[in-house]
Amino acid sequence: MGLTDTGDRHQSSSWDARCRRHLPVAVALLGLGVLPAPLLAAAPAATPGGPTHDVSSGLKLLEQIQDVITDLAERAGPAVVNIFPVQASGTLDQGRERQPGGTGSGAGVIIDRQGHIVTNNHVVGDAAEVEVRFSDRTKAIAQVVGRDQDTDLAVLKLAVPRDLPYANFGDSSTVRVGQWVLAVGNPFGLERTVTLGVVSGVGRENINLSRYENFIQTDASINPGNSGGPLFNLRGEVIGINTAIINFAQGIGFAIPSNMAKQVVQQLLTRGRVVRAWLGVGIQPLTAELAKKFGVTETDGVLVNEVFDGDPAAASGIHPGDVITKINRTAIDSPNRLSRVVATLDPGSTAKVEIIRDGHRREIEVALSERRDGAVLASVPQVHADGKLGLDVQDLTAALAEKFKLKETHGVLVSKVDRGTLAHAEGLREGDLIKEVNRTEVNSVGEFTAAVARARRGESLLLRVIRESRAFYVVLKTG
């Protein structure tokens, strides 16, 4: 089972027996998408003088499901702890952590008999140790073993002279929309609150909460103070670490999938930090206009807008303008997915990268390196409009390159963007450096003007632009 209490083997076996008896019923109902209240309402009513066994059977069925949920809630409690970071002075931060649901206070889950705890990085903050409060009201100090800001996870270590209850990770790849889950945490200071709900979405990204996003979405109530707490399936396995809510929406919470958490935890415990592979490209999503320019469809992959000198992609022959469709046979349909897939690979390993170049598919082997801090994957908002370009340009000089933090020595610098024009609507701004027009390199204003003039009336322009150390493609529709 997912939950383990090293101090009570009899209760564990009893829990197993109850689950074997009741879970088939719950699973059957979940498969039908039936919730308890509608099921009760739909139960056959007894006719005057007629049998009442149909109503009794319906109630018994609901009570069996209820037993599964209440047993899980009882078993989940001891493995879930409340966390309050400790200041360098050794005292609790009274201004933050003591406030119900305040920034820095949250929950965590014990994951092994050695006393390791998983929680959110934003719960721990910069603290080196935290105060942990157990379900029996006792307290202990835990050391921060490691943290990973890119996934918002942290690992703590307790040193207590007793066996601790703990929960096991489940396989988040098997999570399905509609399955029941329990969220356990410390919302608004209400310790070990248990809420029941369903998985309302999987693979959620672009929430802008962390670098690597693949969230499980749930309507099980998650509130301030739930951060770092576990999301359980009905078998008592941790399938997610609750991390955030949408403040203006009800019933929308997000959890980091357990498979991602397991990988991060393993590295933090063995290395003290997380090491990820690095491909060495800047990427952006394919829009309909970009896809048309590159002869692909929007769903084909992601567009490479920059290849960094000396990095694996450059050494392997990947070029700007290539569309990456697969990595090790895993389909790539968004920049976020590419980042996640590469991050799961080991530095030094070889990845098979499938690309589309000039309408032809090919596979390139890339020897990955270790990701360096501060690497940026570029993208810009895509908003389309009609009208003139609305650009003033000039040749790049050394002084201008220094002013706008450009490493390039040649190109066409955007010196002015008129508001309300096409260039402004597409997100271009002063200091952007235009390097290509319709896949042709331009190094001067004369070359830029000639390339624009060659475009037929009504034909869109594909620009490759560099902004500081970032590159991106943008399509301008000429009127």
The domain of 323 spans 277-370
Q: How far apart are the first and last CA of the chain?
A: 64
Q: Does residue 67 have a known ligand-binding role?
A: no
Give me the CATH number covering residue 179. 2.40.10.120
The reply to whether 72 and 89 lie within a common domain is no
Q: Residue 227 and residue 93: Cα distance in Å, rounded? A: 18
> Is 306:319 a contact under the CB 8 Å cutoff?
no
CB 294 within 8 A of CB 305: no
Q: Do 129 and 207 fall within a single domain?
A: yes
Catalytic residues: 122, 152, 227
Q: What is the pLDDT along the chain (479 residues), one digit of tens a residue?
A: 565 544 444 444 454 555 555 444 444 444 434 444 433 444 455 455 555 566 788 788 888 888 888 888 888 888 999 898 886 555 554 433 333 334 457 889 999 988 999 999 989 888 889 999 888 888 899 999 999 988 999 999 998 877 888 999 999 999 999 999 988 876 555 666 788 889 998 888 877 677 788 899 988 877 666 788 999 998 889 999 998 776 665 668 899 999 999 999 999 998 888 889 999 998 999 988 899 889 898 888 999 998 988 899 999 999 999 999 999 999 998 888 898 899 889 899 999 999 999 989 999 999 999 887 544 444 333 333 333 678 888 888 888 888 888 888 888 999 888 887 888 888 898 899 999 998 889 988 888 888 887 877 667 889 999 998 788 999 887 65
* CATH at residue 429: 2.30.42.10
d(CA 244, CA 191): 18
> Is 172 labeled as ligand-binding?
no
Say if 384 falls within a structural domain: no
Main-chain phi, psi angles of 140, to 5 degrees? -155, 160
Split into its structural domains, the chain has a count of 4
Nearest Cα to 434, choosing from 424, 420, 422, 448? 448
Query: Is 152 a known ligand-binding residue?
Result: yes
CB atoms within 10 A of CB 403: 11
- Report if residue 375 sits inside a domain: no
210 assigned ligand-binding residue = no
User: Is 399 a domain residue?
Assistant: yes
373's CB contacts (< 8 A; 6+ apart) are none
Nearest to 121 by CA among 244, 251, 206: 244
Q: Is 168 annotated as a binding residue?
A: no
